A and B are shown apart, each in its own frame.
Chain A
Amino acid sequence: MMILITGGSKCGKSGFAESLLQAHTGPKIYLATMQPYGAEADIAISRHRKQREGKGFQTLEQYTDLHTIELPAHSAVLLECIGNLTANELFREKPADDCVSHIIRGLRHLHDTSDLFVAVTNQVGSDGIAYATGTALYIAAIGAVNQSAARLADQVYECVYGIPVLCKGGKPC
């Protein structure tokens, strides 16, 4: 079972994603892809840590190559987030020839080896601004990854100011 959650900045994606794993009785893995660079990243990371405190998550930090992760049996995984992951893969020292396929391979691996896979991503293509090459490549890459992830997912939600709007699949049990 895979659920993809998208939405804009500070729209309540993480809180909603965490709630989807609440009932899971097996291991709960929080897969963090944000690299702790700079004061603002530190603030974001500690805010997220505080939010999931006491919810029974093991944190696993992995910034690239998600296909190499070995999950415990019957895990539920919360990946946070595809936006950071895409930037990490695209702008790493030696990026894969086809970054998008490389990322999808990792997502497919998590989908195949977990009981429940919840992936958080971002909507970044709606500000109507023409960006320079690097950023434009990033927007295109995350758009392609999101489309593939949504095809792979059983359910897709878009969060709007904290409200999950179902885009694909039935309501969760």
Chain B
Amino acid sequence: MILITGGAYQGKTEYVRRQFPDIPITDGAACLFDEAATAKCINQYHVLIQRLHAAGSDPVAWTEQLCAENPECIILLDEIGCGIIPLERDERIRRELTGICGCIIAKHSDAVIRLVCGVPNAIKGDLL
């Protein structure tokens, strides 16, 4: 498993396209959940978490299952936790779920790459 992270618009998708030109990217913001479960690469995983939560599924259990059953998956997940605690309860829950899921994915990943201004840094494992 590989985790690609960083803030929004830091070049994560471009980086994956460059490194893995033959791997199809599944859009976590729009795909079917079953489609994501078997995808080779999931983009917008933070939106997928939000969608799972809104649909009444547990994103943490879903993520654990993904790590167990699809261990070669490449996951693109925005860093979203570095702000003020949101006023809306659902937003607070979503933000915490994203953190918890991100820690699970990072733990299962051989490499975690963080992009800042398009520049990749390996914070776990080696650069791809």
Given contacts A9-B99, A161-B3, A163-B124, contact A126 B83 (CB under 8 A): yes
Chain B residues contacting A11 (CB-CB under 8 Å) are: 81, 99, 102-103
Chain B residues contacting A128 (CB-CB under 8 Å) are: 83
Q: Do residues B84 and A165 form an inter-chain contact, with CB atoms below 8 A?
A: no
- Number of A-B residue pairs, CB cutoff 8 Å, is 75
Contact flags B23-58 to A (C-beta < 8 A → 1, else 0): 000000000000000000000000000000000000
CA gap between A130 and B96 in the complex, in Å: 22
Q: A152 an interface residue at 8 Å Cβ cutoff?
A: no
Q: B106 an interface residue at 8 Å Cβ cutoff?
A: yes
Q: Which of A1-52 contact B (CB under 8 A)?
A: 7-12, 40
Q: Do residues B112 and A8 form an inter-chain contact, with CB atoms below 8 A?
A: no
Given contacts A9-B95, A9-B96, contact A160 B83 (CB under 8 A): no
Chain A residues contacting B124 (CB-CB under 8 Å) are: 163
Q: Do residues B82 and A123 form an inter-chain contact, with CB atoms below 8 A?
A: yes
Q: Do residues B107 and A162 form an inter-chain contact, with CB atoms below 8 A?
A: yes
Total interface residues in chain B, CB < 8 Å: 26
Residue from A139, A161, A162, A163 whose CB has the most chain B CB atoms within 10 Å: A161
Secondary structure call for the B interface: mixed
Q: Do residues B84 and A139 form an inter-chain contact, with CB atoms below 8 A?
A: yes
CA gap between A165 and B77 in the complex, in Å: 17
Total interface residues in chain A, CB < 8 Å: 23
Chain A residues contacting B17 (CB-CB under 8 Å) are: none
In the assembled complex, how far is the CB of residue B43 from the closest CB belonging to chain A, in whole angstroms?
Answer: 16
Q: A135 an interface residue at 8 Å Cβ cutoff?
A: yes
CA gap between A39 and B21 in the complex, in Å: 48
CA gap between A12 and B85 in the complex, in Å: 17
Contact flags A124-137 to B (C-beta < 8 A → 1, else 0): 11111101000100
Binding site for A on B (CB under 8 A): 3, 5, 7, 77, 79-85, 92, 95-96, 98-100, 102-103, 105-107, 112, 114, 123-124
22 residue pairs of the A-B complex, CB under 8 angstroms, read A8-B99, A9-B81, A9-B82, A9-B96, A9-B99, A10-B81, A10-B98, A10-B99, A11-B81, A11-B99, A11-B102, A40-B92, A123-B82, A126-B82, A138-B84, A160-B5, A161-B79, A161-B99, A161-B102, A162-B106, A163-B112, A163-B124
Top 4 A-B residue pairs of the complex, sorted by shortest distance between their CB atoms: A10-B99, A8-B81, A127-B83, A161-B102
Binding site for B on A (CB under 8 A): 7-12, 40, 123-129, 131, 135, 138-139, 160-163, 165
